[in-house]
Structure 1
Amino acid sequence: MISIGLTGGIGSGKSTVAGFFEELGIPIYYADDRAKSLMVENQELIASIKALLGDQAYTDDGRLNRAYIASQVFSDAELLESLNALVHPAVGKDFSTWAQAQHSPYVIKEAAILFENGSYTRSDATILVTAPENIRLQRVMNRDGASEEAVRARMQHQWPDEQKIPLADYVIENIDLEATRKQVISLHEQLISLKK
């Protein structure tokens, strides 16, 4: 099974690109969504998170205490790294199981920090979705109702495109939706030919 990593900075439109691939029948594994699910479903992971952050990491009804976790890890880079070191292997294992169950020429793993956490090395190829910073800022401010300062603070946790582009096998520039769709169709045809 050919495994393709799909990533892009906040507001780049990687979910939009993933949706275009889905329209072409390609299964998409949304790593960030699965991570959130595994953090409340996987008992081994739950125990490890509680050992790292304390029982307060979960509410009484077993949900993630997101506010508490954010207050702990976003002001402590070492703690964030420790949390990621627990979550990322669990996601990697879950992705492998999921990928084996798919029946398509290739599968896509969509993840926000594919390059930053090194998981791109476990993909057969990577796609980076880019857009100019001013467009990305505007998209996220409109989508989340967030201030420019809040969006820029979130961007600080991700590498800039200039750092990611040399590591990517394919780059899709997402400014105009129709142009982006054409890039996806063209890339899909290339990826299918890899399987032959």
Structure 2
Amino acid sequence: MKPWVLGLTGGIGSGKSAVAEEFGRLGVHWVDADHAARWVVEPGRPALGLIAERFGETVLAADGSLDRAVLRDLVFRDPDQRKWLEQLLHPLIRQEVAEHLARASSPYAIMVSPLLVESGQYRQVDRVLVVDVPEALQLERAARRDQSSETQIRAILEAQASREERLRHADDVLINDRDLAWLKSEVERLHNFYLTLRGGQE
């Protein structure tokens, strides 16, 4: 039987990756849309050529790979360019993710995406798990991890779906505001519950 798909999302600094890794330890196949977004622009893939053609060679690093920081600056300031880029990449990322999920041999598979709600990707999954943390903790974690300033992180928070919006789409919520032991036990609890579901629904 084809595995059903759980969409896993959460704001910056919520600990999505840690949660996905815990599910992975329990034998659940997962793929991160962010990783897929990097794979589709690797040298030799058609998307990279199209991006360089549109934005010029400045978006390429010395080794021929995509300079994500340069590209981010270019599209961040220009909604039209951002739209063009999204229209190019989103279908490719979707396809990449679908191919990975199709290889799953676990009863359910997980698609991790920070923009699950904003990009409408939640429509492609059978169930949505939101990893939620209080905003103060989000800021603190993200600042520690990315060495970014609070202003930068707030800008990212603003651009991501509001917490309320994300939670509205959630079938399940994991509050990740304690330690790793707590996280492990929560993931195990959810995993055991998910194994009882057919097609992701109760």
TM-score, normalised with respect to structure 1 = 0.92
Structure 1 counterpart of 2:183, from 180, 183, 187: 180
Q: What is the CA–CA distance in structure 2 between the aligned matches of 1:48 and 1:121, rounded to whole Å?
A: 28
* Structure 2 residue matching 1:193: 3-state secondary structure: coil
| Equivalent residue, structure 2, for 1:121 | 123
Shift of 1:42: 5.8
Segments of 5+ residues of structure 1 without an aligned counterpart are: none
The list of structure 1 runs, each at least 4 consecutive aligned residues, that deviate by more than 4 angstroms after superposition, is none
More moved, 114-123 vs 79-88: 79-88
Aligned length: 196
- 1:98/1:47 CA distance change after superposition, 3 Å: same
* Structure 1 residue matching 2:64: 3-state secondary structure: coil
Counterparts of 1:107-186 in structure 2, within 5 Å, are 107-177=109-179, 178-186=181-189
C-alpha RMSD of the superposition: 1.7
Shift of 1:60: 4.8
More moved, 21-30 vs 56-65: 56-65
Structure 1 counterpart of 2:68, from 66, 85, 99: 66
Counterparts of 1:26-105 in structure 2, within 5 Å, are 26-41=28-43, 43-105=45-107
Q: What is the CA–CA distance in structure 1 between the aligned matches of 2:44 and 2:172, rounded to whole Å?
A: 34
Q: What is the CA–CA distance in structure 1 between the aligned matches of 2:54 and 2:45, rounded to whole Å?
A: 14
Instruction: Tell whether 2:20 aligns with 1:4.
Output: no
More moved, 123-132 vs 59-68: 59-68
Q: What is the CA–CA distance in structure 2 between the aligned matches of 1:170 and 1:42, rounded to whole Å?
A: 39
Q: What is the CA–CA distance in structure 1 between the aligned matches of 2:109 and 2:44, rounded to whole Å?
A: 23
Segments of 5+ residues of structure 2 without an aligned counterpart are: none
* Structure 1 residue matching 2:116: 3-state secondary structure: coil
1:15-71 deviation per Cα after TM superposition (whole angstroms, max 9, x unaligned): 111111111111110110221121114632223323432333223532112232022
Q: What is the CA–CA distance in structure 1 between the aligned matches of 2:95 and 2:74, rounded to whole Å?
A: 26
Q: In the alignment, is the contact (CA less than 8 A) between 1:105 and 1:195 conserved in 2?
A: no
Instruction: Read off the aligned partner of 1:143 and give its amino acid letter.
Output: R
TM-score, normalised with respect to structure 2 = 0.90
Identical residues among aligned pairs (%) = 32
- 1:68/1:145 CA distance change after superposition, 3 Å: closer
* Structure 2 residue matching 1:138: 3-state secondary structure: helix
1:97-133 deviation per Cα after TM superposition (whole angstroms, max 9, x unaligned): 1122221111111111111010110011111110000
Q: What is the CA–CA distance in structure 2 between the aligned matches of 1:175 and 1:70, rounded to whole Å?
A: 30
